[in-house]
Amino acid sequence: MDWRRGSDKERLSVKRDGPASGSDGPKPVTLRKCQECHRAGVARSHTVGICEECDVAIAEEVHERVETIKEALRKLRAEARVGAKFELWDLILAQTEALLTYEEREILTTCPPPSALLQDFRALRDAVLGPE
């Protein structure tokens, strides 16, 4: 007997993957659920665990929120009134916190991630306007 192959008894007792003896066929495949809409049958998308429809919706929402943040930052540079600056910072922080919910679910949104942006935006706001 060859030591690399094992005994005849050991080779015969090796279990193979596949249907169990006496079964009617392969076991049913369980499809993953979308993290967003919870529908079964997640197809390929750019985001792991998200169906294609939700992936598109999330991408659109992220794009809109990022554009809102950019526009508020542009307005903030030109704004002279302190009250208006507070409102713009509140808008920026609210939009970034909304993006943070995706990061918490491990869905990629921005680079740097929303948690880092939130920390930077709060520090900038406090440097310009003082802490709340």
pTM of the model: 0.67
Q: Which tokens sit at 34?
A: 């979308």
Residue 4 has pLDDT above 80, yes or no: no
Residue pair 114/121 in contact (Cβ under 8 Å)? The answer is: no
Is 102 part of any domain? yes
* Number of domains, the chain: 1
Is 77 part of any domain? yes
Is 43 part of any domain? no
Is 11 part of any domain? no
Domain containing 122 equals: 57-129
What pLDDT does 52 receive?
Answer: 83
Residue 43 has pLDDT above 60, yes or no: no
Q: DSSP string spanning 81-126?
A: -HHHHHHHHHHHHHHHHHHHHHHHTT----SS-HHHHHHHHHHHHH
